[in-house]
């Protein structure tokens, strides 16, 4: 749900970074705002839910899914999702393109209803576009203690009880066509740890395709990772994060074979 970067970079362009957790090369111009006090994570209005269903499967899954397919996106490992059809799950992926959202939600995860967790930037979009984003599954991060209470209720009902899935990008910021995996914190893994639900890692890797200048993405769906019953919530949070990161890193190192841009670490001036 981040505004696409309009600036064009040629092959071989070098991005210099000093903070892998916070540097953002998508140059998002949207404003991050506080959630409105009356914001509802769970919309119980029958008409709104029906409209959401129509737009999600009529627009999101059908049209946007077709666009991602014809862009050359491939999916590997869909069979690993069959065992998860009857339970909720949290999907984690690296963040390398504006199209990440549609690749996972509309193509990789099939007919399963999936929401997407993101910053509140999209709430500063024009009213109509903002409403469409919410109807197709955009879920803004809480910005206050009261918001977290409502967000927990959403997770309990939507993900745990209704068995939907939530897509999370733990790297937080887009690094265009990046062929590595950035370190990410364990904080977002408290959700599957708390609700005893599986983690599904999906890796976006890039390959060279004859006749095309830019690389094409291949999405690798990895084996689900389940919390351990003998561990506490905090212990499971760390365990799930470490296993997810380890498996994703291995997959990306083996399969992301075409680097279109260069990323080089550079110390900040005040760090020298």
pLDDT digits (tens, 9 = 90+) for 201-249: 999 999 999 999 999 999 999 999 999 999 999 999 999 999 999 999 9
Q: Report d(CA 165, CA 169) in Å as an integer.
A: 13
Confidence of residue 35 (pLDDT cuts 50, 70, 90): very high
Q: Which helix (H) or strand (E) holds 91?
A: strand 89-93
Q: CA torsion angle for 8, 33, 115, 152 (degrees, to 10)?
A: 150
Residues, the chain: 272
pLDDT digits (tens, 9 = 90+) for 79-136: 999 888 889 999 999 999 988 888 999 889 988 899 999 999 989 899 999 999 999 9
Quick one: pLDDT at residue 4?
40
Which structure tokens are listed for 56? 């999600």
- Cβ-contact 165, 91 below 8 angstroms: yes
């Amino acid at each position: 749900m981040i505004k696409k970067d309009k600036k064009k970079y040629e092959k071989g362009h070098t991005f210099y970074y000093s903070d892998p957790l916070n540097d953002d090369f998508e140059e998002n111009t949207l404003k991050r705002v506080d959630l409105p006090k009356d914001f509802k994570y769970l919309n119980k209005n029958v008409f709104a839910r029906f409209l959401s269903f129509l737009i999600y499967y009529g627009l999101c899954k059908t049209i946007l899914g077709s666009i991602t397919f014809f862009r050359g996106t491939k999916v590997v490992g869909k069979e690993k999702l069959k065992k998860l059809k009857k339970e909720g799950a949290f999907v984690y992926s690296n963040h390398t393109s504006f199209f990440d959202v549609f690749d996972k939600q509309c193509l990789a995860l099939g007919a399963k209803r999936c929401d997407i967790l993101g910053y509140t930037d999209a709430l500063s979009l024009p009213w109509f576009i903002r409403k469409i984003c919410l109807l197709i599954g955009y879920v803004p991060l809480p910005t206050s203690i009261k918001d977290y209470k409502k967000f927990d209720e959403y997770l309990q009902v939507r993900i745990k009880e209704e068995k939907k899935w939530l897509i999370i990008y733990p790297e937080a910021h887009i690094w265009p066509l990046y062929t590595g995996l950035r370190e990410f914190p364990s904080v977002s893994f408290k959700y599957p740890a708390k609700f005893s639900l599986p983690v599904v890692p999906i890796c976006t890797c890039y390959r060279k395709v004859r006749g095309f200048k830019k690389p094409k993405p291949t999405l690798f769906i990895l084996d689900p990772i389940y919390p351990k019953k003998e561990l506490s919530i905090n212990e499971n949070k760390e365990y799930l994060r470490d296993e997810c990161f380890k498996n994703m890193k291995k997959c990306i190192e083996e399969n992301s074979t075409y680097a279109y841009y260069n990323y080089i670490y550079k110390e900040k001036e005040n760090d020298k």
